[in-house]
């Protein structure tokens, strides 16, 4: 009989409720506790869900009712927390990016693997039906030769967003648009067409002059498979429009807007194509104009898969190791922008980018 898993959410900020709601709605998961250094905030959130509040990670890790920790901390705090979780023998689902460096990511993966712990990442956009259809079509060769894979994220965040928490205006905390917001969509390109061979990036601040980080990214990507691509990402473009992911080949084109399949056209039309063209919900908010304007259905898929993976001892649907190439692309973009030149991958960590 499958075991019901107890979950603790580490962090009581903006994204914590999405993790909590997905756990509560899941089959086989039970929300046990929240943990945050801000005692007032964590007490309020724990009260909302009727669970335990901790203001010390060690205390939450000592709770025998907790099997899995969902790490929803600021980006720069992931590493130390996850290493503590691994040492305590807890499975981990972490928010993106897994860490702020490749070395930290590798150390976390090893720490979990050596203890037989599952270690997943919440890049939940991968599970959208439109993305899964694109991925299958690529695997089936329907695009022919892949030519382009592009991501356009033209969002808006007011100045207040960057001051709602101190870390959101700190470059060293990973608060820039590239790693904090666009990571999801850079990840989709990596997930669909494979790792990058070279990137060239430009980062600017267009409308948030009191915040010392980039609010806009323009990047060119050469993928190992031979395709090329563009990433345009911004939190400066009022009022904000839905993300667009495009894949083009010699025999087909697919475009996802928000979570809906907007274009699905192939040289070899198949019987299932009409149903694929209807995938997604155009009314579902996807955070274009507001930091919390999205649903938790994709998170729930990740959580329920994680529960099954623990109970059947298989790998999770989004292992952190599979997200490492995305982090490498992102770090290469920061290196490129800092140097003003293209950067070839693989790279080595360069802490000076922060």
Torsion 86-345-318-9 (CA) sign = positive
pLDDT surpassing 80 at residue 291: no
Q: What is the mean pLDDT of residues 29-39?
A: 97
| Residue 293 pLDDT | 81
| Residue 349 pLDDT | 98
pLDDT surpassing 90 at residue 285: no
| Residue 283 pLDDT | 83
Q: What is the mean pLDDT of residues 102-113?
A: 98
**What share of the chain in percent tops pLDDT 70?**
100
- Residue from 3, 1, 89 nearest 307 by CA: 3
Distance between CA atoms of residues 175 and 327, nearest Å: 14
Distance between CA atoms of residues 20 and 18, nearest Å: 5
The per-residue pLDDT for range 206-238, each reduced to its tens digit, is 999 999 999 999 999 999 999 999 999 999 999
Check if the beta carbon of residue 72 is closer than 8 Å to that of residue 16.
Answer: yes
CA 276 to mean position of chain CA atoms:
24
Which CATH number applies to 5-125+296-319?
3.40.50.720
Q: Domains of the chain: which residue ranges?
A: 5-125+296-319, 127-288+326-344
- 312 CB-near residues (< 8 Å, 6+ apart): none
Q: What is the mean pLDDT of residues 259-288?
A: 94
- 283 CB-near residues (< 8 Å, 6+ apart): none
| Within this chain, domains 5-125+296-319 and 127-288+326-344 share the same CATH topology | no
DSSP 254-268: EEEETTEEEEEEESS
- pLDDT band, very low/low/confident/very high, at 203 (cuts 50, 70, 90): very high
3-state secondary structure 117-176: CCEEEECHHHHCHHHHHHHHHHHCCCCCCEEEEEEEEECECCHHHHHCCHHHHCHHHCCC
- pLDDT band, very low/low/confident/very high, at 290 (cuts 50, 70, 90): confident
The per-residue pLDDT for range 248-262, each reduced to its tens digit, is 999 999 999 999 999
| Residue 351 pLDDT | 97
- Residue labelled with tokens 């928010």: 95
**Number of H-type helices and E-type strands within the chain:** 11, 14
The per-residue pLDDT for range 118-130, each reduced to its tens digit, is 999 999 999 999 9
Mean pLDDT rounded to a whole number for the chain: 97
Fold of 127-288+326-344: Dihydrodipicolinate Reductase; domain 2 (3.30.360)
Q: What is the mean pLDDT of residues 49-67?
A: 98
- Please indicate whether residue 246 or residue 287 has the higher confidence score (pLDDT): 246
- pLDDT band, very low/low/confident/very high, at 280 (cuts 50, 70, 90): very high
β strands within the chain, DSSP E: 5-10, 29-35, 52-54, 68-71, 91-95, 119-122, 146-154, 196-204, 216-223, 228-234, 244-249, 252-257, 260-266, 343-344
- 236 CB-near residues (< 8 Å, 6+ apart): 156, 206, 207, 208, 215, 216
Give the tokens for residue 169.
Answer: 């205006």
- Angle CA(123)–CA(43)–CA(85) in degrees, nearest 5? 45
What Rg, from alpha-carbon coordinates, does the chain have?
20
Distance between CA atoms of residues 22 and 165, nearest Å: 24
| Residue 145 pLDDT | 98
- 295 CB-near residues (< 8 Å, 6+ apart): 284, 285
| Residue 284 pLDDT | 85
Q: What is the mean pLDDT of residues 280-299?
A: 87
The per-residue pLDDT for range 143-158, each reduced to its tens digit, is 999 999 999 999 999 9
pLDDT surpassing 80 at residue 242: yes
- Residue from 332, 350, 18, 301 nearest 190 by CA: 332
Q: What is the mean pLDDT of residues 291-299?
A: 88
- Residue labelled with tokens 């009409």: 274
């Amino acid at each position: 009989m499958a075991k019901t898993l107890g979950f603790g959410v580490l962090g009581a900020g903006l994204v914590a409720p999405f993790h909590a709601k997905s756990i509560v709605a899941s089959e086989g998961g039970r929300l046990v506790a929240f943990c945050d250094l801000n005692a007032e905030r964590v007490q309020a959130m724990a009260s909302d869900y009727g669970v335990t509040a901790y203001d010390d990670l060690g205390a939450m890790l000592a709770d025998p009712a907790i099997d899995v920790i969902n790490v929803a901390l600021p980006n720069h705090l992931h590493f130390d927390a996850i290493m503590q979780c691994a040492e305590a023998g807890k499975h981990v689902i972490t928010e993106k990016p897994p860490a702020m460096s490749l070395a930290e990511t590798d150390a976390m993966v090893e720490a979990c693997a050596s203890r037989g712990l599952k270690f997943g990442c919440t890049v939940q956009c991968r599970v959208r039906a439109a993305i899964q259809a694109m991925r299958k079509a690529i695997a089936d060769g329907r695009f022919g030769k892949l030519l382009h894979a592009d991501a356009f994220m033209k969002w808006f965040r007011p100045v207040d967003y960057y001051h709602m928490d101190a870390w959101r205006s700190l470059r060293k905390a990973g608060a820039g648009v590239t790693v904090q917001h666009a990571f999801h969509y850079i990840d989709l390109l990596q997930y669909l067409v494979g790792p990058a061979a070279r990137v060239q990036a430009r980062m600017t601040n267009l409308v948030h002059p009191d915040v010392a980080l980039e609010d806009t990214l323009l990047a060119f990507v050469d993928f190992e498979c031979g395709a090329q691509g563009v990433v345009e990402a911004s939190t400066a473009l009022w009022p904000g429009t839905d993300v667009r992911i495009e894949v083009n080949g010699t025999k087909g084109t697919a475009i996802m807007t928000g979570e809906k399949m907007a274009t699905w056209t192939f040289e070899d039309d198949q019987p299932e194509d009409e149903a694929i063209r209807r995938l997604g919900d155009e009314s579902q908010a996807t955070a274009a104009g507001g930091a919390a304007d999205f649903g938790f259905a994709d998170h729930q898929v990740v959580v329920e898969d994680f529960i099954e993976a623990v109970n059947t001892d298989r790998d999770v649907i989004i292992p952190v190791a599979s997200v490492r190439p995305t982090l490498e692309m992102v770090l290469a973009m920061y290196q490129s922008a800092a140097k003003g030149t293209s950067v070839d991958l693989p790279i080595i960590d360069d802490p000076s980018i922060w």
